[in-house]
Every structure is written in C-alpha cells, then in structure tokens.
A and B are shown apart, each in its own frame.
Chain A
Amino acid sequence: MTRPIRQHLEVPVADGDGERYSLRMGPQHPATHGVLRVDLELDGETIVECTPQVGYLHRGFEKLAESKTYAQGLILTDRLDYIAAMANNVGYCVAVERLLGIPVPMRAKYIRTIVGEMSRLCSHLLWLATHALDIGAMTVFLYCFREREILLDLFEELCGARLTFSYPRIGGVRQDVTGWFIDELQRFIDIFPSRIEEYETLIDTNRIWLKRTVGIGKITGEEALDLGLTGACLRGSGINYDIRKHQPYDAYDQVEFAVPLGSEGDVYARYRCRMEEMHQSIRIIQQCIDQLPPGPIVSPEAPELVMPNKAKATIQAGRSEYGTSLIRLIRERDIFLSGDVYVATEVPKGELGFYFISDGNNRPYRMHIRSPSFIHIGALSQIARGELIADLIANIGSLDVVLGESDR
C-alpha cells in the first residue's frame, strides 16, 4: 500500500548518462531557513539547475484577511516575518491609515520609528547569526543572540510579547513607552556599536570569510532591478533605493540617516550593507529618543479597539461581544472609502507592500501582500547557477529570506 507514496518521494535521477544527478535540498534541512525546498541539479558539486519551491508554510493570510475587520487583520501580520513582526505591524497600520485617512499623532510616529528600527536590528542580528552559522562561524551566532535578547526584553517591556507583538494599532500605538524602556534602550544603543565591532573582529577580515563571500552570488544592479529585489539585496548592488528615504512614512523624514550602498553585488557587499544599516538604525533610534515629543499616542479619529467583557463574551457565545462591538464601532464611523491603495514600507528584508481593495465595507475586499522574501527566493535560481552547493548556502543566507513571509 505504501509503495506509491515511497515512489513519489524517491529522489529522481536526472538523466541516463550518470553525469548529473538531482538533490532535493529541504524542506527539512539545517540551512534553508525554515521550510524552503530547493531542487538542485548537480554536476559533481556544481549547481547546473536550481529551482526553489515554496509553499510549505502557506496559511492563506490574504484570504483570511478578507473575513476580518481592518483592526483584526493586524494580528495576521505578526505571522508574516516573525523575526521582525513589529515592522510588519507598522507596515500594515501605515497602509490602513492611508486607506482610511486617519492621521497619526507625532509621538506615536516616533515610537513606531523606534520599534521599526529595533525590529530591523532584531532581524539583521538573526540574519548575521544564521548567515555566519551557515558559513561555519558558530560563535557569531551566539554573540548575536546575546544582543537580540536585550531587544526582545525591551519589546516585552513595551507590549508583553517577544515574538508576535501587534503593538502598533491603526491610528497610533497600543501603549506608551515607559521611562525604563527609554533608559534601557539608550543603554543598549550605547553599547551596541562596540558589539558590532566584536562580530566584525570574528569575521569581517577573516581570510576564510572573505574567500567564502567575496565574488560569490553576484548580481548586477540591473539584474537586481529586473528580479525585483529590494532592501539590502538591491542596495548591495549599488542601487540607491530605500523607501524610508524616498517615500518617508512615520518619522523617517524627521531624522537623518544614510543609505549604505555596496557596489559589487556579491554576498560580501550585501553583508557589509546590512552591517552598515545596523549602525544607521542606531543613529535613527538615538535621534528619535532625543526628539520624542509629548502628546497622545492614539489619534482621536482611530477606530476604537475595545477588549471584550469576558463574562458577556461567554454568555453570548454565538456572537461574541468582541466581534460585534468592533464591527459596530467601525460601521458607525462610516469613513470607509471604496477604492484601492498600495502602501510600501521598508522592512528589514526589503519592500513590504500592502495592497488593499476596499468596497466600502469594514473588511478589505482583497488584501495582497508584496513580501520581499518571496521575490528574493525567486532570484535564487539565477544567482546560484554555476556555483557550488556551499555557495548556495551562503546565497540563501545572504538573500535573507523568511519563509513565513514568503508563503503567507
């Protein structure tokens, strides 16, 4: 009975001459960053053909969002890029605010910028950790986690969660920052540059690291544009495009920062870009702390988000208080416009875009997520062709993909 299944799972042999063979790398593989599957056609250890396969983590978020109100849809975005959930939350909120025309108070904007940059640091730290681990530098992995832990503790102080935050809300943020948070954050950004130096002493000029990264996985600027790459993958190839700079949202137009650019477009250039971005994030956070204005953290025009009365909710089991009250509140406002909007934000991985079609209801008629990881995985086959298996690993790490975001 089991025979057909086994035959289906058997790794096929490419052709009769025995020179080439195929290898199915993943979805269970230590270096595919989740459940990415890469079908490889190999000649020795050289990659002849490389086909990335995604979809193992598909949860149907885009469809699911159609049955949730805009306020409820926020929690779905936590599960996209779970390494930098805060940046997704911010991206979603910015998009919905643009759709509904809700202004955001200045203080909330600054707080969002701070948490956005913190999540960028989180994501880049995890990227560096796993990228280095993939290439074999094991200690960097744990050094990065040491700093990431501090950031997660800060997030915990801010909103009680360490992974799925749902901290920003439509029209502002959920809670105000505490004094302890600001003090600890200040302490963190004071020590962090020296920690970056610590990582760099281990790998930056290490001969083996250079041999493994320089000239590997080259993409020219034009190719990167054609492939639709964004974020550090695009900037590593020398294209100056950063949404924070060119279409500023939140408080990014109030702060000064540089957009680090590479020129070679190889793994090393992308590595350098992200390392520099970490320095820039520190700069942005510092300015935000210094300029943080007083005032409200939620716009008065924001749809009210009321947690349900627990007793009531259980009595009305069929129609929970939570759902009805939200629907009512949002309906009463009657601010929903028909039409569509595409809003992109710069998340750590690249350009995260939310595309909404609204039919005037309180739920999106259609939500599309333009996730950078999905597009970056698509570039893998072009980058990896002709290189070795070991380079494929370096490339997957350097494209910085997260499968939760790719598969949605």
Chain B
Amino acid sequence: MIAAIEPSWYLVVASVLFAIGAFGLLVRRNPLQMFMCIELMLNAANLTFVALATSLGDINGQTAVFFVMVVAAAEVVVGLGILVSILRRRPGATADDLAELKG
C-alpha cells in the first residue's frame, strides 16, 4: 500500500529532528555526543529523501539514501578513529579544549 500521509508532514517532522540535532551539535561539548547529533541530522535528511521518493514515485531518492548511509558509516569510522587518537593523548578533552586554531 502506498502511504497516504502527505509528504509535507514528513518534511516537518524531519525538520524538527534536524533542528534538534543541530541544537545538540552546538550545545554539547563532549565530542562523542556531538557525533551522535550529526547522525541525527543525517537521519533527518534520509527521512526526507525517502518520503519524497515515495510521493514522487522516483526510486532515485532511495538510492540516495543508500549512498548517504554508506558515507555516514565511513565518516563515523574515520571520525571515531580521529577522536580516539586525540583522546588518547588528552583524556577528558572536550570540543572547547581543541582550540589551537585560534586566530
């Protein structure tokens, strides 16, 4: 069955999710939690893609989600690797402590 819920609702819900993710990214200082907020934002985007793919009848939206997931996975891997190498040197560092690029 084709879902009959209008895609605009999905858009709004996804935007709320995105907003929460963005807010969290800006407010949290723990690097891992900031990462999780990034995942939230990516999921919001995925949701939008899928919702509109179905309503437009275009499978390309779902393909895009596929690729987004793959890239998100790769990004998490690399990002966590970086985090591990940093936090090994400075345990307990937060995003604010990593401010060497101060102008």
- Are both chains from one complex? no
Binding site for B on A (CB under 8 A): none
Chain B residues with CB under 8 Å of chain A are none
